[in-house]
């Protein structure tokens, strides 16, 4: 019997544990457009506003050891959720890893790495690993990733780990989809930490000093502590955990720190606040992406061509031309 | 006498060679908003549509050696333009480096590195180096970078080198501001090249295999040649140049390859075509950024709050809520 190909049937199969169907649903989400919209609508009705799912972001510069650390966390969580071999069931915490690497066309990290990585969990049906580096989705990864998380939660995946590289514009937007964000640094990054306090503080809920068996771990910890001292707000202070992902050392402590942050968010009521704010930003992004579609439908190529001519000839500058474009489109503000 | 602080006076001072004024004008551009708009208008009237300036992009993964290679090119260009010490003058090609690193909050590369780098050219008033990692500009770096290039050209800087990391969404947008783009790879990147043909082909006009004295340079060249063979179109075929930026080896050949591409663009008439297309994309970006400003003015916080409530309660999904947001804003499409 051929597989059903409509979004609803695929979604149902995915929710029933069909991993191939889940992969297809996520591809639909990545592509964006009406298909994605339909899938997200279905997911939302099953698990409104995230429901019981939790999302942890793991971010850091290339080579910091994010993938290895993520794998260790997956192994830990799966072992904790399943102390002895048990059949799949309700108290079996399913885990998905979304490896988001906007720069992967260069590094090949996400694409090549994950094929290898998946093998470590190949026999564990409770683990799902997926790379996202698409540019297809209107609104970009910042819209596609929250949609993918929503689908995963609605399909019964309780924990989603999002792995991102760096803290550029796109990465910060993507990282903001996580409830708890772990920033991975390495020994010897003192200068980088000093130069980038604002960016780190903006996103870090937990710091992991990975490769902590190398020289300089103590100095890096001191630099981070100093940075946190100077900016203490009385709220959550990001704990600093030393890890050696290659050996697994410190993974337990890291997971405990993530759990502490989750508890802090829950007991303080911050979780709801943070998720509401996130949703507000998301609505804005979706609306802007829709405006763009509408704009491109309304403003034809000919209009662009005529305006570009006038800019090339020096008759108007690009901002004046953009104003003309808008004139045909936007309701007057006053 | 205090320095004038209005955009027009600052711009005039910058165009007269005042580097402090130039730095301030670029800060205005980075911030975006009405100030940036005014400056860009002034720049445009002086040098419509790029005028005689040329822009070369240098991009590649972190650690590929882009900064060192860029410095070598700057030294080469400045030496060529000035075979013996001559006073500043019309036939003295001024050079600016824009180091764009959206991920610099992490790596610290752009910020820390450039302070050190500038010292190498500190005595050469014909060289201007600047980092851009801002998120302040509405429309982001993809709008801020072309504006900065426009200002530099209008201030008499004939050659702008844009250094970017990776080929993620933001980087490709930024790289598209360059007339000629050099992609820097390293020996041993065969697998990454294979996995990422599309991304590399999309942006590369010239390949530099940097650190070519390391093992694997020949294999990397072979992989690149193979990729180019398979996708040959009969137009420009990106040349592959081996460089060792640390020693300066191959820099001349790289600069010759860039010159060849420039000549190809000019004689084939492609330069005008490419720049027109770029301008079209830029108009779209500016228009979208303006729509966003207008949108945020029109749609108040209260509207967001009410819609978020309905999404949280499960009454509507985020796409339905975004439609409601838009309803108050967009002219009906039909």
Distance CA A280, CA A14 (A): 28
Average pLDDT over residues A22-45: 86
Output the pLDDT for position A152.
93
The CATH superfamily of B49-268 is P-loop containing nucleotide triphosphate hydrolases (3.40.50.300)
Distance CA B1, CA A316 (A): 35
Structure pTM?
0.74
Band (pLDDT 50/70/90 cuts) for residue A79 is: confident
Chain B from 114 to 153: CB within 8 A of any A CB: 135, 140-141
Residues of B in contact with A41 (CB under 8 A): 317, 319-320
Q: Do A279 and B106 touch (CB under 8 A)?
A: no
Q: Buried b / exposed e across B31-57, counting CB within 10 Å, b at 16+? A: ebeebbbbbbbbbbebbbbbeebbbbb
Output the pLDDT for position B180.
95
pLDDT in tens, A270-329: 998 888 888 888 888 888 888 888 787 777 778 888 888 988 888 888 889 888 888 766
Of A282, A313, A329, the CB nearest to B331: A329
Where are the extended beta strands (E) located within chain A?
54-60, 95-100, 127-132, 159-165, 180-185, 206-210, 240-243
Output the pLDDT for position A54.
93
3-state secondary structure of B87: coil
- Output the 3-class SS for chain A: CCCCCCHHHHHHHHHCCCHHHHHHHHHHHHHCHHHHHHHHHHHHHHCHHHCCCEEEEEEECCCCCHHHHHHHHHHHHHHHHCCCCCCCCCCCCCEEEEEECCCHHHHCHHHHHHHHHHHHCCCCCCEEEEEECCCCCCCCHHHHHHHHHHHHHHCCCCEEEEEEECCCHHHHHHHCCCCEEEEEECCCCHHHHHHCHHHHHHHCCEEEEECCCCCCHHHHHHHHHHHHHHCCCCCCCCCEEEEECCCCECHHHHHHHHHHHHHHHHHHCHHHHHHHHHHHHHHHHHHHHHHHHHHHHHCCHHHHHHHHHHHHCCCCCHHHHHHHHHHCCECCCC
Q: ipTM, 2 decimals?
A: 0.77
pLDDT in tens, A210-261: 999 999 999 989 988 988 888 777 789 999 999 999 999 999 999 999 999 9
Mean pLDDT by 10 residues, chain B (334 residues): 76 88 89 83 77 86 84 86 42 84 47 52 77 64 85 92 71 78 84 61 89 93 88 87 95 96 94 88 84 79 85 86 77 47
Residues of B in contact with A199 (CB under 8 A): 105-106
Residues of B in contact with A44 (CB under 8 A): 314, 317-318
Output the pLDDT for position A124.
75
Lowest mean pLDDT among A126-140, A147-161, B57-71, B106-120: B106-120
Distant-in-sequence, close-in-space partners of A299: CB < 8 Å, separation ≥ 6: A325, A328, A329
Chain B from 215 to 274: CB within 8 A of any A CB: none
Output the pLDDT for position A86.
38
Output the pLDDT for position B65.
87
Residue with tokens 């040349």: B239
Residue A283 contacts B, CB cutoff 8 Å: yes
Q: CB-hemisphere CA count at 13 Å for B233?
A: 6
Residue B74 contacts A, CB cutoff 8 Å: no
Closest CA to B106 of A216, A219, A172: A172
Distance CA B71, CA B94 (A): 14
Residue A303 contacts B, CB cutoff 8 Å: no
Q: If phi over 0 gives left and psi between -120 and 50 gives alpha, with beta otherwise, what is residue B272?
A: alpha
| Minimal C-alpha gap between B269 and chain A (Å) | 15
Q: Buried b / exposed e across A181-193, counting CB within 10 Å, b at 16+? A: bbbbbbbebbebb
Name the most confidently modeled range: A61-65, A146-150, A210-214.
Answer: A210-214
Band (pLDDT 50/70/90 cuts) for residue A334 is: very low
Residue with tokens 């140049």: B241
Q: Do A283 and B314 touch (CB under 8 A)?
A: no
| Minimal C-alpha gap between A325 and chain B (Å) | 7
Output the pLDDT for position B107.
41
Q: CB-hemisphere CA count at 13 Å for B321?
A: 29
Crossing angle of helices A301-312 and B270-298, rounded to 10°: 110
Residues of A in contact with B326 (CB under 8 A): 287, 290-291, 294
pLDDT, averaged across chain A:
80
Output the pLDDT for position A108.
40
Residue with tokens 């072309």: B146
Crossing angle of helices A141-154 and A19-31, rounded to 10°: 150
Residues of A in contact with B99 (CB under 8 A): none
Distance CA B47, CA B44 (A): 5
Q: Which CATH number fits domain A48-270: 1.10.1840.10, 3.20.20.70, 3.40.50.300, 3.30.70.1520?
A: 3.40.50.300
DSSP B121: T
By the 8 A CB rule, do B57 and B182 touch? yes
Kindly give the pairing relationship between strand B240-243 and strand B206-210. Answer: parallel
Order the strands of the B180-185 sheet from edge to edge: B127-132, B95-100, B159-165, B54-60, B180-185, B206-210, B240-243
Output the pLDDT for position B269.
92
Of A166, A286, A329, the CB nearest to B318: A286
Q: pLDDT: is A201 or A34 the higher one? A: A34
Q: CB-hemisphere CA count at 13 Å for B227?
A: 24
Lowest mean pLDDT among A44-48, A53-57, A213-217, B68-72: A44-48
The DSSP-derived string for A72-100 is: HHHHHHHHHH-SS---S-TTS--EEEEEE
Of A103, A286, A308, the CB nearest to B167: A103
- Output the 3-class SS for A139-184: CCHHHHHHHHHHHHHHCCCCEEEEEEECCCHHHHHHHCCCCEEEEE
By the 8 A CB rule, do B140 and A169 touch? yes
Give the number of other CB atoms < 10 A from CB of residue A222: 13
Continuous segment of H or E residues that includes residue B98: strand B95-100
Residue with tokens 């639909």: A28
Q: Do B322 and A279 touch (CB under 8 A)?
A: no
Q: Do A326 and B48 touch (CB under 8 A)?
A: no
Q: Does the structure show a pLDDT above 80 at A118? A: no
3-state helix, strand, coil in chain B (%, to 5): 55, 15, 30
Residue B102 contacts A, CB cutoff 8 Å: yes
Distance CA A25, CA A35 (A): 9
A184: its two tokens: 């991975």
Q: How far is CA A66 from CA A216, B36, B74, B83, in A?
A: 19, 39, 36, 49
Output the pLDDT for position A58.
92
Q: Does the structure show a pLDDT above 60 at A269? A: yes
């Amino acid at each position: 019997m051929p597989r059903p190909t409509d979004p609803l049937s695929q979604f149902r199969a995915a929710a029933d544990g069909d991993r191939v169907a889940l992969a297809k649903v996520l591809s639909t989400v990545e592509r964006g457009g009406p298909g994605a919209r339909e899938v997200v609508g279905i997911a939302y009705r099953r698990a409104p506003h995230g429901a019981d799912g939790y999302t942890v972001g793991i971010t850091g510069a290339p080579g910091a050891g994010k993938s290895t650390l993520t794998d260790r966390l997956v192994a830990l969580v799966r072992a904790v959720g399943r102390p002895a071999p048990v059949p799949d069931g309700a108290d079996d915490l399913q885990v998905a890893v979304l490896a988001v690497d906007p720069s992967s066309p260069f590094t090949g990290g996400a694409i090549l790495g994950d094929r290898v990585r998946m093998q470590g969990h190949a026999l564990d049906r409770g683990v799902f690993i997926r790379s996202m580096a698409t540019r297809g989705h209107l609104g970009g990864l910042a819209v596609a990733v929250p949609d993918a998380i929503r689908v995963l939660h609605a399909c019964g995946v309780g924990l989603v780990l999002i792995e991102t590289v760096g803290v550029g514009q796109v990465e910060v937007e993507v990282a903001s989809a996580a409830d708890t964000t772990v920033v991975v640094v390495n020994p010897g990054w003192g200068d980088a930490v000093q130069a980038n306090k604002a960016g780190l503080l903006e996103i870090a809920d937990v710091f992991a000093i990975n490769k902590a068996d190398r020289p300089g771990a103590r100095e890096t910890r001191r630099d981070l502590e100093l940075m946190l001292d100077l900016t203490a707000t009385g709220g959550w202070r990001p704990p600093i955990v030393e890890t050696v992902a290659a050996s697994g050392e410190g993974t337990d402590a890291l997971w405990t720190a993530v759990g502490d942050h989750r508890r802090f968010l829950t007991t303080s009521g911050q979780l709801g606040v943070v998720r509401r704010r996130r949703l507000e930003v998301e609505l804005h992004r979706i609306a802007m992406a829709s405006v763009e579609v509408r704009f491109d439908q309304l403003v034809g190529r000919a209009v662009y061509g005529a305006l570009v001519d006038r800019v090339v000839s020096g008759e108007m500058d690009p901002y004046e031309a953009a104003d003309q474009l808008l004139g045909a489109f936007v309701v007057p503000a006053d």
